[in-house]
Structure 1
C-alpha cells in the first residue's frame, strides 16, 4: 500500500461525518484498516472466530484519534433515543429483544425498562456498565456468528451498523442463527449503510467501493436476496428519519431508484440536491 491518495473532494466526506483529522492521520488510518481488513477477507471461518477481536483491538490501540475512541455522552443519548423510537412499534411489555453488536449495550439497557427481557450480544463486554444493569438484562458473548440462545426464544432482533462488518459467509451464518432464535412471526430489524451512497468506512476518502472494515456494503436488491435466501418469509424496507418511521415504500420503487443511481456516475448526482434519505442507509425488517 503506502501510496494512498486522498480524493480531491475528501473534505466533503469529512464534513458529512464530522471527522476533523488532518490528511496524514486519514492516510494512516486507511492503510492500517485496509491491511487488517485484508486479513479478515482472506481468513477461514475458524480463523475469524479470533480475528474479529484481534483486528479491531489492534486498530483502536494503534489509532488513539480514531473517531470511535472518543468519550461517551452527548450524541450518544440522541442516538439511543432514535433507536428506541424505531424499535418501539415492534415491542410489547413482555417482549424478548436481542441486540446484535451491542457495544456498550446502552440501547439494551434503555429498552430493559420497557420490555420483558433485553439481551445484548457482542464479541466483548468491556464497554458495558454491569453495575447499572437491571435484572432483566443479559449479555451474550459471540465469536461473530453463533447466538447461544434456544430456538424460538426471541421476539425481536436488532442490529445497527453491524452486518456490513461481517465477512459475507458470516453474514449469512448469522442470519440463519437469527432465524433459528426468533419465535414464529418474530422480526429482525437491520440497519446498514447503502453501497449506493458509499463507501461508508474509512475508504470513503480514497475509493469508490468499501475496502476497509466494511466487508460488504449492501443495496436493496442484495439485502432482499440474502434475507429471503436464509429463511425470512417476508422482507420490508422502512424510510425513517430521527427514528421516526415515514413510510414503507414498495420494494420495486426503491430498487428502481437505486438502479438508476448505480448506473449514473457518482460525480453527477453527488452534486445535485436529491431526496437521498431512502438510500443513505437501508432499514430492513425480516419476518420469520
Structure 2
C-alpha cells in the first residue's frame, strides 16, 4: 500500500472536509442525491486515497478479510441469506458467500473492476443509500463494517429501521464502528481532535444504544475479540469506561482508548 506524503494527506483532509460540510449542511432530500456522488468526487480529487491504494495490496486485503470473518463466521450457516452494507471491493462478501446459500452486497456505487471473480451466489445491488432494495424479513445476517460513522446522524434512525425491516425474525444485524473515545479515526486524526472528514459522527455505546432500541432491536450482544459477551456486564462496563475517558485531553484519551475502546462491535436481534 502506497504511503501518502504529508502534502497528499493535507490535500485529502481539505477535500474530505469540504465534501463532508456539504453533506452536513444539506437537507434530507439533497443528502439523498449527494450520497451516491461524494466518493466518486473524493476519489477523483484524491487518487492517492488509501481506499484506492489498498486495492494494490493483496496481503492487506487478505488480512482485513480474515479479521472480519472471525467476527462473522459464528453467525453464518449454509441455508442463510447474507447481506453486506457498503461492501466496497466485495472481498469480504465473497468470502462469506462460501458459507451461506446467498450473499448480497448493497452499495451506492460499484467497484465494477473487482467483480469479475464474484462467486455464483453473490449479487451486488446499487441503491440510493436510504431505502434498502430487499424484501421485508428476507435477510438472515446483515453486516456493516465501519459504515454508520459515514452516515448523517439525522439519517441513522431510518438506516437502522431499514435494517430491522429487512431481517428475518431470528436474524442478526452485526456491525462495527470506530469508538469516539479513541478517535477521530478518519483523516482528521492528523489535524483535529474531532472528526472533520467523511466520519460525520463517531459514536459512543451510550449514544448508539437508544437509536438501536428505537429501531426495534430487542437483544444487543457486545462482541470483543470475536466472541459475544454477556450484555448485562459488558454494556454497563463499557459505558462506564467511555464516560470516564471521553472528557480526557485528546492525546491521553486516544492513548488509553486505543486498547480499551477501539471500536463498538455488536450483534443485534429484532
Alignment TM-score, normalising by the size of structure 1: 0.86
Q: What aligned pairs does 1:20-35 form with structure 2 within 5 A after superposition?
A: 20-35=3-18
Determine if contact 2:179/2:261 at 8 Å carries over to the other structure: yes
Determine if contact 1:103/1:128 at 8 Å carries over to the other structure: no
Structure with greater helix share of residues: 2
- The root-mean-square deviation of aligned C-alpha atoms, in Å, is 1.9
Of residues 257, 260, 268 in structure 1, which corresponds to 2:244? 260
Rounded to whole Å, the distance in 1 between the matches of 2:215 and 2:80 is 24
Determine if contact 1:103/1:127 at 8 Å carries over to the other structure: no
Residue of structure 2 equivalent to 1:42: 25
Deviations 1:13-35 (A, max 9, x none): xxxxx984333222211111111
Q: What aligned pairs does 1:1-288 form with structure 2 within 5 A after superposition?
A: 20-70=3-53, 71-127=56-112, 129-240=114-225, 244-245=226-227, 247-248=229-230, 250-270=234-254, 274=256, 276-288=258-270
Rounded to whole Å, the distance in 2 between the matches of 1:20 and 1:81 is 23
Q: How much has 1:164 moved relative to structure 2?
A: 0.4
Determine if contact 1:239/1:277 at 8 Å carries over to the other structure: no
Determine if contact 1:104/1:128 at 8 Å carries over to the other structure: no
Alignment TM-score, normalising by the size of structure 2: 0.92
Rounded to whole Å, the distance in 1 between the matches of 2:57 and 2:84 is 19
Deviations 1:213-235 (A, max 9, x none): 11110111112121112111122
- Extract unaligned runs of 5+ from structure 1: 1-17
Q: How much has 1:208 moved relative to structure 2?
A: 1.2
- Extract unaligned runs of 5+ from structure 2: none
Q: How much has 1:236 moved relative to structure 2?
A: 2.1
